[in-house]
């Protein structure tokens, strides 16, 4: 855990720095994938930029709304998010809506655009996991494994690093799938299936997971649904 970096009197949150790095990395991957797939790089880059900006704003506003008691006496803190957090679900919804509206306005082909955006989406999720590791809000279950890390005085599974590894595997699957021709949307489905399958496994090692009333991990339920949906779509697309 390394929540802050001190540079003399200046104290910077590592999560914020990681998010800035993630912004550059995500847009760079989208730009490269657009060139690789022969897509309209300027339009896809614009879509990704709009989605990231909208996601950033809605993630911040959702976090503020959920923790309003901490901001009602400090309204300046709402527009100074460097010292506090964001809500991932709110950001995903806001960014997704913005991406759909932008894509429809520019008449971008849905499936081909998803293929191009896939590496950027996976990289963004990896950045969230890395920021989670450094800032410390998430942690794994206890372990005696030698690769465990100490968090809150307890040796735990580095579940955030597991998630980053899953992301690398998903990116590798995108590259490998792109070596042979296929139907539009195939690259997105392959990488999404690999990532969701990986998250289905590694979320079992998270100690502060979102758990339903029945004791099921919410992320695992979503991951399983995405995995099955992707596999069904891949089978159907290959048969056509």
Q: What is the pTM of this model?
A: 0.86
User: For position 105, what pLDDT does the model report?
Assistant: 94
User: For position 240, what pLDDT does the model report?
Assistant: 67
User: For position 29, what pLDDT does the model report?
Assistant: 93
CB atoms within 10 A of CB 58: 22
Residue 61 CB contacts under 8 Å (≥ 6 apart), including other chains: 90
**Whole-angstrom distance, CA of residue 156 vs CA of residue 48:** 35
User: For position 215, what pLDDT does the model report?
Assistant: 79
Helix (H, G, I), strand (E, B), or coil: what is residue 221?
Answer: helix
Residue 102 CB contacts under 8 Å (≥ 6 apart), including other chains: 46, 47, 50, 51
Tell me which residue of 159, 162, 163, 227 sits closest to 194, measured CA to CA.
227
Within the chain, which residues score under 70 in pLDDT? 1-4, 11-12, 77, 80-84, 136, 240
**Whole-angstrom distance, CA of residue 21 vs CA of residue 136:** 18
């Amino acid at each position: 855990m390394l929540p802050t970096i001190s540079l003399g009197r200046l104290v910077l949150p590592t999560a914020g720095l990681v998010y800035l790095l993630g912004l550059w990395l995500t847009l760079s991957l989208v730009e490269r994938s657009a060139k690789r797939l022969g897509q309209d790089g300027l339009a896809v880059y614009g879509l990704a930029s709009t989605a990231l900006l909208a996601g950033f704003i809605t993630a911040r506003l959702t976090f503020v709304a959920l923790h309003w008691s901490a901001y009602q006496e400090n309204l300046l803190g709402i527009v100074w998010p460097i010292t506090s957090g964001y809500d991932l679900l709110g950001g995903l919804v806001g960014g997704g809506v913005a991406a759909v509206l932008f894509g429809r306005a520019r008449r971008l082909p849905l499936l081909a655009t998803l293929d191009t955006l896939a590496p950027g989406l996976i990289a963004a999720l990896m950045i969230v996991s890395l920021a989670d590791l450094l800032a410390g809000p998430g942690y794994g279950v206890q372990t005696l494994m030698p690769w465990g890390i100490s968090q809150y005085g307890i040796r735990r599974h580095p579940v955030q690093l597991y998630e980053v590894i899953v992301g690398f595997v998903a990116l590798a699957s995108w590259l490998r799938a792109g070596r042979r021709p296929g139907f539009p949307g195939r690259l997105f489905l392959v990488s999404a299936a690999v990532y969701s399958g990986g998250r289905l496994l590694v979320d079992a090692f998270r100690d502060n997971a979102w758990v339903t009333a029945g004791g099921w991990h919410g992320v695992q339920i979503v991951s399983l649904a995405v995995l099955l949906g992707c596999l069904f779509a891949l089978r159907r697309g290959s048969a056509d």
